[in-house]
Structure formats: C-alpha cells, structure tokens
Amino acid sequence: MGVDDGLELRYMGPRGVRDKEDEMRVLLLAGTIAAMAVVLATTALAAGAATASKTIRVIEHATTDAVTDTGKKGDSAGDLLTFSNALYNATNKTSVGADDGWCIRTAVGKSWECAWTNTLAGGQIMVAGPFLDAGPSKLAIVGGTGRYTGARGWMDLRSRNKKGTEYDFVFHLS
C-alpha cells in the first residue's frame, strides 16, 4: 500500500468513526471556546477594575466666597457666587489643593446651581450640581484630569459650622 493511494485516515472515537476533517472541526471549536473564555474573563476583570471605588475626604476653607448681586437688591435668583479656596486634608492640618468655581442662585433661600474644579495632587476633579442652603448637598462628579481622568461618582458636601467657613467634601469616585 503506497502513501498516495487515495485512502483517508480514519480512527475510531467514542462516537464512531472519525476522519481528520472531523478532528479539525473539534479542535477549531475547542479553540474558539477557549478564546471566548479568555475574552470574557478579561472583560470581567476590566469591569471589576472600572467599578472599584475610592473615597477622598478634604475640607474646604471658604475664605474667598463672594456674591455678586445681579438682580433685585439682596438675595435673588441670578445672583452669582464665586470662589477660589484652599482644600485641606481630612485632619484639617495640611493644605492639599484648591477649588475654583461659581454658583448661580436658582431658588432664593433654598439653593444654588454650581460647577467647580478641585485641584489635588495628581490632577483635578470637576463637580456640578445643587448647593443647598439648608443642609447637606450631593453633587455629580462629571470628570477629571491626571490620575482622575474619567472620574465619575458623586461628592457629598456638608457645612462644618454655622458660619459657612469650612465644608467637608467627600468624593466617592467610581
């Protein structure tokens, strides 16, 4: 019997006679399944890393807040609050950055709508949302730069005293 006599090689598998073409299909299917498993595992790990959260606590010293009266005399819709204040660490002892921003009075005696940038070591975190006169506020983290690129989440804002000279900022980054 010669090598090129036209006979196909066949073997007996658990489900009967198989040839090389069947074997290749099985190997191709197994390889595809393995590749899909690697892609799914990598995607799951990346999603887990993307949803990992980090909390940053700082204290704002509100020393530069200035209200510009734009409409009726006194507190009125449309008034502008601007600021550029120092940020301190959670123990309130060491300066760790600064914030710069503005707010527009939207509801007299109730709230301002604000946007500002918090500059910290390694980058910036941008926030936007309501600043409530009567209590704690929650603002959206809308982005960042440097180590905070792509930042999302929210910032809790709470006054530390009745004078409004210090505020807790707690960034919940995801």
Say if residue 47's pLDDT is above 50: no
Query: How many whole angstroms separate alpha carbon 90 and alpha carbon 4?
Result: 82
DSSP bridge pairs for 18: 11
pLDDT at 28: 63
Place of tokens 């498993």: 37
Does the pLDDT of residue 13 top 70, yes or no? no
pLDDT tens digit sequence for 48-106: 444 569 999 999 999 999 999 998 999 999 999 999 999 999 999 999 999 999 999 99
123 by DSSP, 3-state: which? strand
In terms of CATH, what superfamily is 54-173?
A: Allene oxide cyclase-like (2.40.480.10)
Residue ranges of domains in the chain: 10-50, 54-173
The per-residue pLDDT for range 118-174, each reduced to its tens digit, is: 999 999 999 999 999 998 999 999 999 999 999 999 999 999 999 999 999 999 999
Separation of alpha carbons 46 and 120, rounded Å: 26
- DSSP state string for 112-158: EEEEEEEEETTEEEEEEEEEETTS-EEEEEEEESGGGTT--EEEEEE
**Residue-wise pLDDT tens digits, 21-43:** 666 665 665 566 665 555 555 54
User: What is the Cα 65 distance to its own chain's centre?
Assistant: 28
pLDDT of residue 71: 86
Q: If you search the block for the tokens 């509801």, which residue do you land on?
A: 107
Q: Looking at the predicted structure, is the pLDDT value of residue 115 above 60?
A: yes
134/132 Cα distance (integer angstroms): 6
Question: DSSP assignment, residue 25?
Answer: H
